A and B are shown apart, each in its own frame.
Chain A
Amino acid sequence: MMSAPFLLLAAVWEAVAIAGVFPPKLFPPLETVFGTLASLSIEGILWAHTQETLLRLTLGFLLAAVVGVALGILMGRFRLIEDLFLPAVSFAYPIPGLAYAPLFVLWFGLGNLPAILLVGAASCFVIIINAWKGVKAVKPLWLRAAEVMGANERQMFWKVILPAALPYVLTGLRLGLAQAWRILVVVEMLMAVERGLGWMIFGARQFLNTDVMLAGVMVIGIVGLLLEKQVFERLERYTVVRWGMLTA
């Protein structure tokens, strides 16, 4: 029974809400929350916010993926680039991306541009590190074998290095996407964007719309779950598992 814990939790929530321990405005009963969720989705408000958030996530993540994979692979292939960038990357990697938020607001103003850049900056380091490790972890025997068989630099890259590094790269992308998602919600609160799920929750606080906030948190949880289960597990199945680099 998957639903038993949820039913119990719902019952406890309902009991607390009806008992009136907290004012109903702050702790609404579940039917109010679900009613709000339904009306928000019917009016299309929820969808508009979700769409905007997903768009921002996609753009920020794409930026991070392109820059991160390229830099990571270059760092793994060329000694000079590794020497130049590794200290910076390994220093910036553990700094929470959120800490840059006020700085980005100063540099790029409020709105969409700094939000997307920040999501990209926050998620690119884990992608760089993993791509770099992946290239470093390619078996030297494979490289030598390809070399002996007369592979040129291009063939070496496409046929040996890229497939071999791909499991690491995908791990990095997956971690990067999770990071981007976790940070995006807050970025929307801090950057005064026009729409977005984070902004919806933050804005609803001003009007004490606790039901809207709870509905927003629910949608955020669902989107997060879908991202992990639908997007990445599938991608992994179609690429690395199929090429035999990992067993499913």
Chain B
Amino acid sequence: MKSAFSWRSFWRGAAGLVFLLALWEIFARSGLFTQALTPPLASIAKVGWRMLLDGSLAASAAYTLGRVLAGLSLACLIGIPIGMLMGRFRPVEKFCLPLVSVLMPIPSLAWVPLFILWFGIGEVTTLLVVSYAATFPVVYNVWTGVRAINPLWLRSALAMGAGQRQIFRYVVLPGASPYVFTGIRLAFGRAWIAVIGGEMLANPAAGLGRAIFDAREFLDSEVMLVSLIAIGVVGIAFERLVFQFIEHRTVARWGMVADAGSGRR
């Protein structure tokens, strides 16, 4: 159950934020670092406003988000079937599990230099790194989800004469869906990290990570900080709005998990 909006928690949050901003302002004006490196709030806000108006911030964010979504789709396309097969069929599980458990702990970004050699600098490499990061959480969670299906459901479907296809469509798919969603959510988090690293190392055309990296050359701390904030905001917004919406419309509606908003209806 989500707690209702309360002014008290709002003021507490606002106070914390003000405290933090004040701390930064003191730090910036203290001259501990030069102001070129730690700009005061006013100039950050000014640059942020400018980047918002001329559309460069939106463009970078769109590039980055597009890459994440493309990589995530690729990861789902590969990861969900493999995970399902692993969960359903013992030989597939026996074959894939050792590979997955060896490849999973390798940080996706460690592959970047190698991918650059193989696929060149730019879009392809970034996309591959993002998909690599996102695939394993999907595979792992789908696999777990299929195995976590109540065996009673499978047996009762079987007893009622369901074919392999019907079992898959009406039992396995909805039964595993909460785990599938958890996997995709985790994968989004991983992909969001990988895309920033990929953009810094593999030099694609544009993007928030790229913007930060390029701004360093010109000592443009304001641009770096604004892009940093944008990365946080876009990540949180996507996670909160999109994923909660999808979950609400699918898994929660099928009655597989308790819905956060259902108490209010």
Contacts and interface: CB of A to CB of B under 8 A. Distances in A.
Contacts of B110: 185-186, 198, 201, 216-217, 220
Interface residues of B, number: 56
A224 B232 CA distance: 27
B228 A95 contact: yes
Interface string B131-167: 0000000000000000000000000000000000000
Given A87-B17, A94-B189, A95-B231, A102 B106 contact: no
A181 interface: yes
Given A2-B98, A87-B20, A189-B109, 6 more contacts: A5-B95, A9-B99, A92-B232, A95-B235, A99-B231, A183-B107
B95 A205 contact: no
B122 to A, nearest CB: 15
Interface stretch (A78-86, A127-135, A153-161, A166-174): A78-86
A22 B114 CA distance: 14
Nearest to A205: B113
Most chain A C-beta atoms within 10 Å of own C-beta, residue among B37, B112, B193:
B193
B12 A214 contact: no
Contacts of B37: 106-107
B13 A87 contact: yes
B19 interface: yes
Interface residues of A, number: 55
A100 B236 CA distance: 17
A114 B239 CA distance: 30
Interface string A49-72: 000000000000000000000000
A100 B228 contact: yes
B111 interface: yes
Given A83-B15, A102-B213, A186 B114 contact: no
Contact of A189 (B113, B213, B227, B236): B113
Contacts of A85: 16
Contacts of A92: 232
A228 B200 contact: no
Contacts of B95: 4-5
B116 interface: yes
A103 B98 contact: no
A213 interface: yes
Nearest to A106: B37
18 contacts: A2-B98, A84-B20, A85-B16, A87-B17, A95-B235, A98-B193, A99-B208, A99-B212, A102-B200, A182-B107, A183-B107, A185-B109, A185-B110, A201-B114, A202-B113, A204-B113, A225-B101, A228-B105
